[in-house]
Structure formats: structure tokens, C-alpha cells
Structure 1
Amino acid sequence: MCKELWRSEIGLACSAEKSETSISSPGRLDTMAGKRILILCTSHDQLLGGDPTGLWAEELIAPYNLFTKAGAHVDIISVKGGRIPLDANSLAEGFVTPEVKTFLGAENLKHLVENTKPVSEYKDAAQSYDALYLPGGHGACFDIASDKTCIALVESFWAANKVVSAVCHGPCGLVEAKQPNGDPIVKDKRVCGFTNSEEEAVGKTKKVPFLLEDKLIELGGKYEKVANWEPFTIRDGQLVTGQNPGSSEKLAELVLEALGA
């Protein structure tokens, strides 16, 4: 979790040095042994207008490390399969976290983001996984938000009373998903995600198909937020959401808490 506010008004990454989470077997807690978590990542790499985007690396790697350290089995997939496009800003010097550097520098881990299976092979995943996690990056606004297979996957986890979690732009994957009764999943649920003011701060309000804060409120979600770049997470039953990349670690902790409930 970030220990300070995010660096500058552009809000691209956490400025504080982070202690690196162990990504090897030593130090495993194994409190979640037997639990299975599926992480669904974006495959989209362009904003409206053509600027490059993708997945924000910290939002994938920080939770992955915490999940595996706790002993959970974790699989990383993407919308189309193959290499996950990583937002270059999340890898830029001065912004990239030590944890991300270590992960991408380890061949036995780097391949997890370069050789993913497509979501189409996981249509029945709710039967064998205990939680679904949607990391963000602006790419999620374009594919996870509207892809029918992704929407059906979210709905199946929800209907099975499994944990559904998302951070930053990841909650875009909730906007089209419905409960079995036809209501939006977020209706009457406490929820958070990337705020309008954060989107404005990074200059992308006109480069995404919708503003997540507005959409979640429109769908009847009990939207909550804090100041730009402050870590903020909410757990409302089986739904766990986080406001921004700096919320990634705390979100992962809440997912593990929900799995242990």
C-alpha cells in the first residue's frame, strides 16, 4: 500500500518507496491453502484517440504477490489471451515499484503476463475458483467493460456467491454485469473506483468511453471516495473494490479476509 499521496497531480504512480513483498515460496503464510483466485486482465492497448494504454502493472502484481504468499492458487488470464499490454507509465523509472521490477525480472514469473489464456477458456471458472479479481489500467474500460464473455464470467461468480473484486478501472467490469434478478451487481452496494477528479488529473476524461464514478452512481451503487491518490477500499459482502492503484495491496488483503470469512 502506498505510504504517501501519489506523486504529483498527474497521479501516475506511487512516489513512496515500498517494501518488496516476497514472491518466492519462503515466507508463505499458507492461510489460504486450497483457495483459488482467478485474475482477469485487459487485452486493450489504446485510448480513444490512439494513445497507448493497457494494464497498470502494480494493480496486478501487488495483489498476485499477496495472494500467493497467503498460499492461494492464482491463475492470470486476459480477454484475448497472449501477452498482456502493460501501461508504459506504470513501468517508467520513478513510478515503477520495486515489486513490479522484481516480478518482471524473474523469468518464472514474467511469462505469466506474456502467455495468458483467453477468458473464453474460463467460462465455467466460477465452479472451481473462490474469487475473481479485476485489476484496472485504462484498457479495462474498453474490453472487460463490454466483452460478453467477461460480463458472463463476472455474473457467474456473483450468482455462485463467490468473491468479486476490482481496483481502479477494474470496476468497469461490473457496469454491465447483472444479479440473477436482473439488477446491476453494484445496485445498493457500497462501491468505489477511479474517481472523476483522478481521471481529470491524468487528462483522460475525453479518452475513455465513460467516467467510472458517474457510471457506478448511475447504476445505483453507493459510491464512496476519498482525496485523489489516497488508498481507499471497500468490502460490502462478496464485493470488494478499490479506488486507485495505491489501493491494490489493501484490496488484496480484503479479498483474503473475505475468503476466510
Structure 2
Amino acid sequence: MKKVLIVETNVTRYQGTKEPTGLWLGEATEFVEEMQKVGIQVDYVSPKGGFVPLDPRSMKYTDESILSIYESEDFVQRALTNTLKPSQINPEEYIAIYYTGGHGVMWDFPKDTQLQKIALAIYNNKGYLTSVCHGIAGLLDIQDERGKYVISGKNITGFTTTEEIIAGKKSVVPFLNQQVAKKHGANFKKKRFYSEYAVKDGRIITGQNPFSVKAVAKLLINELKLENLL
């Protein structure tokens, strides 16, 4: 069976500040755990390849399942130390691409044309575009061959403006996901802040916040089962 490609950030700080950020740990590990349950293999890629920093705040929201993945040699080596570069990826090997969050992605996901080409190739090959929380930033600027935003007319979700205000980062981030999604023609959906919520529209599956990871993973798994790909 084809694999799932997990995208992570290389950004270590909120740009223009000394405050650290990076990957929100649970948004990777909880997804990986669900993939492992059904035997789906994953690879990890980042815009620059190599090292992926962890958002220190995400360590406050761990449990035994998150830590068990985090402590595994495979995750340490492939997800945090030696992620693949976009140039090393063959889109034909993947049935889905999954964009993790953490505020760092706001700076290196949106304009990465190599990752956009990979995502579009997977999508055009009847694969799935998936994301959670700030990871939606990786989907916002993807355009098809006609220059149309892939999210245009689609029901999607991601970290909301309200959640950004509550997190105290509205004045720090370079843009607001909710705002850009609407600008690019998407139907942005949301539920109460920090509550689990995931949306599927065709082959695009998105989750609102860090508490929505498993919901995204389960929606993807269900779709793959319906297509007899599992």
C-alpha cells in the first residue's frame, strides 16, 4: 500500500522574536499512532529537511501514547533529526499528505513551492490533502494547473482567529489562517475554541486545533477503507 507523507516545520522561533516555537508534538505523534494501528507507513518531510524543532509548550500537553511515539528511535531519527527534503520525495509513493502544526509552520509552509507541487501531485493522483491546526497554512496557497486555489469552494477548518487571540499570538503571526482561507474562496468552518472538530470535503480533510488530530486521522482511515485501500 502507498504511504502517508507527514510535513513538519523547520522554524525554531516566532520570527522577529526570541520566543521558541516549532512542531506541536502531539499533532505528529497522535496521527502516527492512528496510522500504525492500521498498518499505514509514514515518511516525514520538512521544507529544508533534517532537524525539526519542538514547540516547548506542546510538551505540556503530552500523555503516555504521545510520549511512547516521541521516545521511539524511529520517530527521533526520521521525524525530528533526519526529515526528508522535498527533492527526495516521489509523490507517486503516497496516498495522502498530512500537514502538522505548531506556529512555526506559518513562516515556512505557505510559500514552499516544492511542497505545493508534491501535494498537488498527490491530490491529482486521487490522494488526500490533510492538515490539522496551523498546518492548514500548507494548503492555503496550493493552486491547480489553471491557477485556482484547491481549497476554493471547499469546506475546511484550521486554527481559528479566536483561538489565535486566546493563544496570545494574533499580533505575532504573519497572517490569520481563517482570514486567508476565506480570501482564497474556502468555506471556513469552526466549532467552539479548543474543541475537537474535523471536516471532510471530497479528498480534503482538515482539523481545527491540536485536539482534532485523531479525528482527522480517523476520517482519512475511513476513506481509505471505503476505497478498499486498507
1:126 and 2:91 equivalent? yes
Instruction: Provide the residue aligned with 1:20 in structure 2.
Output: none
Please list the CA deviations of residues 75-100 of structure 1 after superposition, one character each: whole Å capped at 9, or x if unmatched: 112111112111000113xx222222
Q: Which runs of 5+ in 1 are unaligned?
A: 1-33
Q: How many residues align?
A: 224
* Matched letter for residue 135 of structure 1: T
Q: Measure the CA separation in 2 of the matches of 1:145 and 1:237.
A: 22
Please list the CA deviations of residues 198-255 of structure 1 after superposition, one character each: whole Å capped at 9, or x if unmatched: 0000111111110000010111101100011000000111000000010001100011
* Matched letter for residue 136 of structure 1: G
Give 3-state SS (helix, strand or coil) of 2:22's partner.
coil
Segments of 4+ moved more than 3 angstroms:
none
Instruction: Provide the residue aligned with 2:71 in structure 1.
Output: 105
Instruction: Provide the residue aligned with 1:229 in structure 2.
Output: 194
1:82 and 2:50 equivalent? yes
Instruction: Provide the residue aligned with 1:15 in structure 2.
Output: none
Q: 1:176 aligns with which of 100, 118, 141?
A: 141
Q: Measure the CA separation in 2 of the matches of 1:188 and 1:137.
A: 26
Q: After TM superposition, give the deviation of residue 110 of structure 1 in Å.
A: 2.1
Give 3-state SS (helix, strand or coil) of 1:169's partner.
helix
Q: Measure the CA separation in 2 of the matches of 1:35 and 1:260.
A: 13
Please list the CA deviations of residues 142-163 of structure 1 after superposition, one character each: whole Å capped at 9, or x if unmatched: 1111112112222222222211
* Matched letter for residue 110 of structure 1: V
TM, length-normalised to structure 1: 0.82
Please list the CA deviations of residues 114-149 of structure 1 after superposition, one character each: whole Å capped at 9, or x if unmatched: 221212211xx3212111111111111111111121
Identity of matched residues, %: 30
Q: After TM superposition, give the deviation of residue 49 of structure 1 in Å.
A: 2.7
Q: Measure the CA separation in 1 of the matches of 2:174 and 2:106.
A: 7
Q: Measure the CA separation in 2 of the matches of 1:108 and 1:41.
A: 16
* Matched letter for residue 201 of structure 1: I
1:55 and 2:60 equivalent? no
Q: After TM superposition, give the deviation of residue 181 of structure 1 in Å.
A: 2.6
* Matched letter for residue 78 of structure 1: S
Q: Measure the CA separation in 2 of the matches of 1:128 and 1:151.
A: 16
Q: After TM superposition, give the deviation of residue 106 of structure 1 in Å.
A: 2.5
Q: Which runs of 5+ in 2 are unaligned?
A: none
Structure 1 or 2: more helix by fraction: 2
* Matched letter for residue 103 of structure 1: I
Q: Measure the CA separation in 2 of the matches of 1:120 and 1:209.
A: 26
Q: 1:159–1:179: 8 Å Cα contact kept in structure 2?
A: no
Instruction: Provide the residue aligned with 1:116 in structure 2.
Output: 83
Q: Measure the CA separation in 2 of the matches of 1:120 and 1:91.
A: 31
TM alignment of 1:1-261, pairs within 5 A: 34-50=1-17, 51-92=19-60, 95-112=61-78, 113-122=80-89, 125-261=90-226
Q: 1:195–1:212: 8 Å Cα contact kept in structure 2?
A: yes
Q: Measure the CA separation in 2 of the matches of 1:207 and 1:47.
A: 7
Q: 1:126–1:162: 8 Å Cα contact kept in structure 2?
A: no
Give 3-state SS (helix, strand or coil) of 2:5's partner.
strand
Q: 1:43–1:79: 8 Å Cα contact kept in structure 2?
A: yes
